[in-house]
Amino acid sequence: MNIAAWIDDINKITLEGMKDHDLVSPSLSIFISNQFMPIKDVVKVGEDQLFVYLVDNISLIQEAFVAIQNKKYPIFPRNIVRTTWFENKYTASETTLGPLYKKDGTAFTLWAPTASNIEIIMEGERRLMRRNDRGVWDIWLPGDLHGNIYQFAVTIAGKERIVNDPYARGLTANSNASVVVDMAKTDPVHFREITYPKITKDKAIIYEVHVRDLSMCSESGIKNKGKFLSFTERHSRNAEGYSTGLAYLKELGITHLQLLPIMDFARVDETEPEKDYNWGYDPLFYFVPEGSYASNLSNPITRIIECKQMIQSIHEAGMSVIIDVVFNHVFQYENSTFEKLVPEYYFRFHENGSVSNGSGTGNDLATERKMARKFILDVVDFWLKEYLVDGFRFDLMGLVDLETMKQIQSRCSQENRPILLLGEGWELDTALDKSQLSTLKKADQLPEVSYFNDHFRDQIKGNTFYSTSTGYVNGEGRNESFLPALITASCDHRFHTPMFSCPLQSVNYVECHDNHTLLDKLQLSNPTISEEDRRKMHQLATGLVLLSQGVPFLHAGQEFFRSKNGDENSYLSGDKVNQMEWRKRGREDENIQWIRKLIQLRKQHDHFRLQTAKEIKERVHFIQVPVPLVGYLLLGEKKDFVIVINPTNIKHQITMPSHGRWTKWISNLRDSKSPISCLLQQTAELDAYELAIFLKYR
């Protein structure tokens, strides 16, 4: 017989794999710590399954087994860890978990309520930990343990497993073991003394980049290629003398640098990082920076110091730092520290016992469970206080429960600087009622959280998941009727049903690390037109991102027509596909300067960054222009702007909305250094694929 036995409730054991004759007249006994447990009832529920109900409640911390026909089978905790009884009895939300370092000794605290025994292993020696209330285990070890390597030996249902500390502050190479860290020794000079930027969300211009992509190109002029330290090289240039790296980003004028995951992740051999590539959405340990980005793995502290040096350098360059966090899944849940410490607790399961997989990665974190929520909040708190990050981008945020996101929102509001929160609000098939998830439909309950506006993306360039689909800029004005809603941050009742109550909840984008780059999409959707026209379409799309109400979001290299050679999902594709091509820096400088000019325009004039739906209704008005052109007027106290977009391949005449001296100030078809042209009459001409900005002083 191949029998599995599970504790599914406080007095219920499920037996699976029973043969037919065993079901007819099962001869079984239940023992806990070798003590016989009287059986109240046995119920057949399937062809090979029994429910065994006991007279007394079950102890989770003692070894249990079922005896059937003189054979013993261990009983493992399962569904019981997901019961209300378990939450009430073992939740330890107020307990400080993880290592607490002091010079004279370190306290180690671990939550593992179903474990019967835990030992800490340090320098080859084992020491028994003490079990306290609510499933908390702890031990204090004397001496200055900074740099010491440790692990836990955790015994559950008679089986011992070696486990790293989920709250570890440091790790050896490839996450092999936890490391004690005196975090005070990891701060760069003046790390907590510099005046870091305090940029509010209405002024945010987000730029997404992968740590490795920024510097790996042979022509980047950056020495520390693929490392945190690449961001500390503030004057890098390519062979032609054009700025690259952080110097370039500062010149471009973006306000927030959003980094793809920098917490410890899988699939890259940290000892030979050049052999592998990964975006980082395979999380392992959340309190430790990724080791492949460090210059020296022999010292576990190096990655921490260099990550802080990167953040400090970005701050000193006048930019804020957003980090991409993955709280919706882990890499290989069955091998995760969570599953080894409290099996079946940290993940969602369907009623049939299968693992929930809304993330598409094999598992969904059960963020709604109190100790999972505590872990997430502890991670957020740690990166805010220890690494001084300025925001979080939540991967697949629609899988994170609403209450957890509300508590994250509340925690971040306590900081004395603006913390920017944004995420993907997709509705995915997970084992939690949709009413409890942080999807786009719940945006009104998370007013401080911004959502990626997929409608903006798809109406502008065509459906992301259909490469030949076209939108407004590449379909001769297709979807023109949706443009007013998109330009007003999907929050204006005048144009379709609002998605948001506040414009700053809309993250406007047409390109990110996922899917095709905008240029690759245009090549697939419009293969027969000239390259020049595709580039103009690209300019229209990026221009709309920067000139619409809401929060603009750019993907690294978008401003110089980044391509991944048609690779739609480059998460493991390597540096050749993913690196920023700094050789294009000079060749595309004219377009870069145009984007830079739009960024400066947005920064200098509040017309483009209104903070309420009421302001938008009062100051944004759409004007009569030939269909499918779109034009709108932005009213100001001393000056007005008119923006007109022509997505067609022919010229069009437009009439300005009011009398006065209008100036054609900026256009994607004019050299950014060209002189301003004044209109001698109330009409103007727009060339094919032109985006023009007109200005009039009052």
CB-based burial of residue 640 (10 Å sphere; 0-12 exposed, 13-18 middle, 19+ buried)?
A: buried
Question: What are the strands, taking DSSP E only, across 364-438?
Answer: 391-394, 420-423
Could you tell me which of 451, 325, 320 has the C-alpha nearest to residue 390? 320
CA angle, corner 305, sides to 299 and 311, nearest 5?
Answer: 150
The helix (run of H) or strand (run of E) holding residue 378 is helix 370-385
Which of 213, 390, 395, 448 is the catalytic position?
395
Q: How far is CA 186 from the centre of its chain?
A: 25
Coil, helix or strand at residue 655: strand
Residue in 9, 424, 520, 588 annotated catalytic: 424
- Written as one letter, the residue type at 156 is I
Cis peptide before 261 (omega within 30 of 0): no
The number of angstroms, rounded, from the C-alpha of 207 to the middle of its chain's C-alpha atoms is 14
- For the beta carbon of residue 653, count every other beta carbon within 10 angstroms: 10
What are the C-alpha distances in Å from 607 to residues 74, 232, 265, 615, 692? Answer: 68, 34, 42, 10, 16
Helix axes 589-604, 245-252, angle to 10 degrees: 50
* Distance of alpha carbon 249 from the chain centroid: 21
What SS3 state is found at 470? coil
Q: Which of 532, 467, 516, 530 is nearest to 669 (CA)?
A: 532
| Among candidate residues 689, 684, 685, 686, the one with its CA nearest the CA of residue 649 | 689
Q: Does 454 participate in catalysis according to the annotation?
A: no
Query: 424 an active-site residue?
Result: yes
Give the angle subtended at the CA of 565 by the CAs of 561 and 570, to the nearest 5°.
100
Tokens standing for 502?
Answer: 């506040």
Cite the active site residues: 395, 424
